[in-house]
Amino acid sequence: MAQLDFIVMGVFALLVLGIGMMFTRIGSKNSSAFFEAGGATPWWINSISLFISYFSAGTFVVWGSIAYKSGFVANGIQLTMVFGGMLVALFIAAKWKRTGAVTAAEYIGKRLGKGTQKFYTFLIMLHGLFTTASVLYPVGKMVSVATPLSLNTCILIIGGIIVLYTSAGGLWAVLVTDVVQFVILTAAVMIVIPMALKEAGGMHTFVNKAPDGFFNFFNAEYSFGFFLAFLAYQTVYIGGNWAYVQRYTSVSNERNSKKVAWLFTLLYFVSPFIWMLPPMLYRVINPSLTGLQPEGAYMMLCQQVLPAGLIGLVLSGMISASASKANTTINIMAVVFAHDVYKKAINRHASEKSLVQAARFFTVLFGAITIGIAMMVPMIGGIVEMVLATASIAGGALFAPVIWTLYSKRQTAVSVISASLCGLVISLGLKLFGGKMDRVWETALGVGIPIVVLLLWEVYYSLTNKEAAPHLLQPLVQATGTLQGNQDAKAQNQFGMRVIAAAIAVVGAGIAILGLVATGGTVAMCTGVVIAVCALPLFRAAKNY
């Protein structure tokens, strides 16, 4: 990488950090501002945040590695997010808003009792630590491939920046930086594709030189059966992951919570076919990668085809995507521990200021732990193995039982905890002692075991005419908000939208300037101009909100 690339990366890192820090005052105002951004955020902001949080740099390392080796199989896997998002939009998102809860933990405490809440809070914390680590590792890997810095140094620097602005600004900092990072990432990928196509000799040459079966959606390892099993996992993960539930509950009404899921579905329908093209092209350009080397295929391609300056832009996009997923998970873990553990178990009379301070403390604590775990990923067998293993073992067991209670009046603390424990213990036991399992069975059992247990409990409770206690079935009271509270929420929304518009204008102008000074930067210049122009309607929307 040239010096210009490091300058570009530094500028964009300072931009994102500065945007996040701008919300320190809003995040400090009260716990509602820090935890749920006032409870009435624009649905499209939540949806883009949900999308980019899901679509991290891990996507470019994990699915990019699969795209390099197996082609369209990576797209087939990601289409499960499309159908999963559709099911969430139709059946789950509005249910969460209807509960009246700020967090999934709050709902569990009301519906299933405090003991169950503590049980799931502990497990979700462990799951969140590993999933966030699986995000920090791949972006650290990409930066280390492109720079002289070591992998652990890269993880430490990137993780530190994320923790800093997330602890300062709360959910608003997460939402706004997510939208800006989405713009940076989109611009970066759109600049890479035409240059990669040129390096590969054009689309016709690429198609002719691609390996046999490269354009099939399924193969022996990732078969149609795996697609169905992974679809079940994605549905419960998108619909039940505590960080994503926060996106459905922090909008103003049930209709908007559905819109959050629908826009996520649309974005995921289009994006994988764009995002996965560069590593597929690199398979034709350089087919010699083996072992864990395909994890770095995306960055190797960028170094080969992009001029100085644009490599830094692409790397900034990858870092931005990772930051989005990491800050989302760290934020919700801190919110849950401050709102549902610190306030209710440690300091029942905590002031608003104390709650925000507790949330910031937990943000720093969990951020430090995830950085440590990310540094140990190579010992686990690589990022692909870690991501798929975590999904198969924990995804269904942690989220499916709680989603079931949104529909069933019969399920109790005993039934959901037993379903989760059966899923976790059996899946983990098979993973550790059952030898190498087929991907289909590994994923299907992870989701299927808790569902079967829940179904058996449902039949048993139906035969015995048992339901949960009536007071546990009542929705939480949703505050309509005081006049001052509604005005505060509106002011927060207007400020957030203005910051987004201004940041997009700055990003667009920066990319256009970079395109002017970089060799062969015409595509970058045009992309930057388009982005800058898109900021104008956002300024008008903020003014008229």
pLDDT at 361: 82
pLDDT at 262: 96
Q: Which two tokens stand for residue 9?
A: 């990366």
Matching residue, tokens 């009404």: 253
pLDDT at 169: 57
pLDDT at 246: 83
Residue pair 278/363 in contact by the 8 Å Cβ criterion: no
CA distance 8 to 514: 9
C-alpha pair distances (Å), 212 with each of 225, 279, 439 = 21, 16, 22
Q: Which two tokens stand for residue 440?
A: 């289909």
Helices (H), 147-276: 151-200, 203-209, 224-240, 242-249, 254-275
Residue pair 305/220 in contact by the 8 Å Cβ criterion: no
pLDDT at 29: 52
CA distance 533 to 513: 14
CA distance 422 to 81: 26
CA distance 83 to 102: 26
Tell me the three state secondary structure of residue 545: coil
Please return the burial class of 303, using the count of CB atoms within 10 Å of its CB with bins 0-12, 13-18 and 19+.
Answer: middle
Given a cut of 70, the residues of the chain with pLDDT beneath it are 1, 20-21, 23-40, 55-59, 142, 146, 165-174, 292, 317-318, 320-328, 339-340, 345, 352, 378-391, 434-437, 439, 468-490, 545
Give DSSP secondary structure letters for 328-357.
HHHHHHHHHIIIIIIIIII-TT--HHHHHH
Would you say how long the chain is, in residues? 545
Q: Would you report the helix, strand and coil content of the chain in percent, each value rounded to 5?
A: 80, 0, 20
Please return the burial class of 201, using the count of CB atoms within 10 Å of its CB with bins 0-12, 13-18 and 19+.
Answer: middle
Residue pair 392/384 in contact by the 8 Å Cβ criterion: no
CA distance 61 to 453: 35
Residue pair 399/245 in contact by the 8 Å Cβ criterion: no
Taking the CB of residue 414, how many other CB atoms lie within 10 A of it?
11
Gyration radius (Cα) of the chain, Å? 23
Please return the burial class of 224, using the count of CB atoms within 10 Å of its CB with bins 0-12, 13-18 and 19+.
Answer: exposed
Query: What burial letters (b/e) apply to 108-143, b meaning 16+ CB within 10 Å?
Result: bbbbbbeebbbbbbebbbebbbbbbbbbbbbbbbbb
Tell me the three state secondary structure of residue 385: helix
Domains and CATH numbers, the chain: 3-322+368-385+476-544 (1.20.1730.10)
Q: Which two tokens stand for residue 400?
A: 């499916």
Q: How far apart are the first and last CA of the chain?
A: 43
Residue pair 186/514 in contact by the 8 Å Cβ criterion: no
Give every CB contact of residue 270 below 8 A, 6+ residues apart in sequence.
Answer: none
Give DSSP secondary structure letters for 108-123.
HHHHH-HHHHHHHHHH
pLDDT at 480: 45
